[in-house]
């Protein structure tokens, strides 16, 4: 049975009902837009309730900023998504003050090694590769996508996603895996790319999330049932969110070990990444890792090649390099050269969406394509250099006005 994993249901179960405090529920106001893949319309709906949400206190602000971060990510506004996410942690508005002074530290024994190579080496001797992502920062999804081909060569054939609702059968196509009734985050373009790649490589994709009592224990039970009870020798990738991979407390990490008897380590992508202001970054990231000027995610090891534990509760921390802008877009969207900037002709403020040509053979009368685009670009102020980031291929590009009118459609070959 399908289950709508709306963000409202998720957060409401954990925190509170915004409507009970007299504040419009962000889930209610955005849901009609999200269900038809009109994420810029959802952003407008959020903006209409921002003033009263901000005035209502810390928890309504938390809920609002959580939605705001996700909707910005769906729209490709990744810098705004990062700001909104950290407002959920540190409050609104974020401080612009300089970082607190810290004592100089000796980092001479540390060495950064390529995180992808490290994980692939580890995976040869394990049945589980568990890693997390921040739901509002797609760089973690891009990194996970980059692991898929190498892990497939090591015999990994199952991909278990928290972003999809539990059901006994696998998700076998893009449409079912990005259906609003199956999940929420998979509508984001880079999550769509991860699912496309997994399907292309022949992975069996399972959803395991369940918002019943004891969520993490239910998640673990579902993964055990779907994968390891059916195939005890299976090798599986588990892509969780945020703190579910923490190695203490009542977490998926611990429950899955208990359910399967397997031993493994988890890789955290949530802590050691850039933040909207230096004061919110840890000293190790700010004072050491930034200075390495790396292009790819890394793991820190000591002089003996042993991973340095740097974050409490995390087995291995993946350090994601700070973002550089290329034609106004994050450099990591280029995916190590697999994609390139493609200029588009924008004549008025617009939402530009590029779809794979073979996925839009049938477009509804309203023009809304119900799978994630390959890329999306919001142009609120006209610039001289608007660019999509695309891989070689054939595309259909839609240009929407900011108030949701389809302006034109054109074919594009890269």
Q: Domain ranges for the chain, please list them.
A: 7-90, 111-317, 329-413
Residue 336 pLDDT? 85
Residue 19 pLDDT? 54
pTM listed for this prediction: 0.95
Nearest to 337 by CA among 283, 413, 261, 391: 391
Which residues in the chain land under pLDDT 70?
Answer: 1-21, 362-365
Residue 181 pLDDT? 84
**209 three-state secondary structure:** strand
DSSP state of 377: E
Phi, psi for 394 (deg, rounded to 5): -110, 135
Say yes or no: domain 111-317 is CATH 1.10.287: no
d(CA 114, CA 294): 10
Say yes or no: domain 329-413 is CATH 1.10.287: no
d(CA 309, CA 316): 6
d(CA 379, CA 204): 37
Residue 14 pLDDT? 41
For 236-369, where are the E strands, in sequence order? 236-241, 266-268, 298-301, 316-317, 325-326, 329-330, 340-343, 350-356
Residue 21 pLDDT? 64
Residue 15 pLDDT? 45
> Is 399 in contact with 386 (CB distance < 8 Å)?
no
Write the CB contacts of 102 (distance below 8 Å, at least 6 apart in sequence): 283, 287
Task: Round to the nearest angstrom and report the end-to-end CA distance of the chain.
Answer: 40
d(CA 338, CA 248): 38
Residue 13 pLDDT? 45
């Amino acid at each position: 049975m399908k289950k709508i994993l709306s963000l409202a249901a998720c957060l409401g179960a954990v925190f509170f009902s915004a409507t009970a405090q007299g504040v419009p529920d962000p889930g209610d106001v955005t849901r009609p837009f999200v269900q038809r893949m009109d994420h810029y319309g959802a952003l407008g709906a959020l903006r209409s309730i921002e003033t009263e949400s901000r005035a209502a206190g810390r928890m309504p602000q938390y809920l609002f900023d959580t939605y705001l971060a996700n909707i910005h990510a769906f729209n490709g506004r990744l810098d705004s998504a990062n700001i909104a996410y950290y407002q959920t942690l540190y409050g609104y508005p974020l401080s612009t003050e300089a970082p607190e002074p810290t004592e100089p530290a000796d980092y001479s024994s540390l060495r950064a090694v390529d995180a992808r190579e490290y994980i692939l080496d580890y995976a040869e001797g394990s049945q589980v590769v568990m890693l997390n992502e921040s739901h509002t920062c797609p760089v973690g999804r891009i990194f996970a996508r980059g692991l898929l081909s190498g892990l497939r060569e090591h015999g990994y054939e199952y991909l278990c996603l928290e972003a999809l609702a539990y059901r006994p059968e696998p998700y076998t196509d893009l449409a079912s895996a990005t259906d609003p009734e199956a999940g929420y985050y998979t509508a984001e373009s880079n999550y769509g790319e991860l699912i496309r790649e997994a399907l292309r490589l022949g992975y069996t994709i399972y959803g395991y999330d369940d918002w019943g009592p004891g969520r993490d224990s239910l998640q673990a039970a579902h993964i055990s049932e779907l994968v390891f009870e059916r195939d005890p020798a299976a090798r599986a990738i588990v892509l969780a969110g945020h703190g579910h991979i923490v190695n203490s407390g009542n977490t998926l990490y611990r429950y899955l070990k208990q359910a399967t008897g397997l031993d493994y380590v988890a890789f955290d992508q949530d802590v050691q990444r850039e933040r909207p202001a230096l004061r919110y970054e840890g000293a190790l990231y700010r004072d050491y890792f930034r200075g390495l000027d790396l292009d790819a995610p890394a793991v820190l090891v000591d002089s003996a090649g042993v991973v340095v534990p740097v974050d409490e509760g995390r087995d291995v921390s993946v350090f994601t390099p700070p973002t550089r802008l290329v034609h106004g877009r994050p450099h990591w969207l280029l995916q190590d050269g697999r994609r390139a900037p493609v200029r588009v002709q924008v004549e008025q403020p617009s939402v530009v969406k590029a779809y794979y040509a073979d996925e839009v053979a049938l477009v509804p009368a309203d023009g809304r394509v119900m799978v994630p685009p390959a890329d999306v670009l919001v142009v609120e102020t006209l610039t001289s250099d608007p660019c999509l980031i695309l891989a070689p291929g054939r595309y259909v590009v839609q240009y929407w006005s900011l108030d949701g009118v389809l302006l034109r459609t054109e074919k594009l070959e890269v």
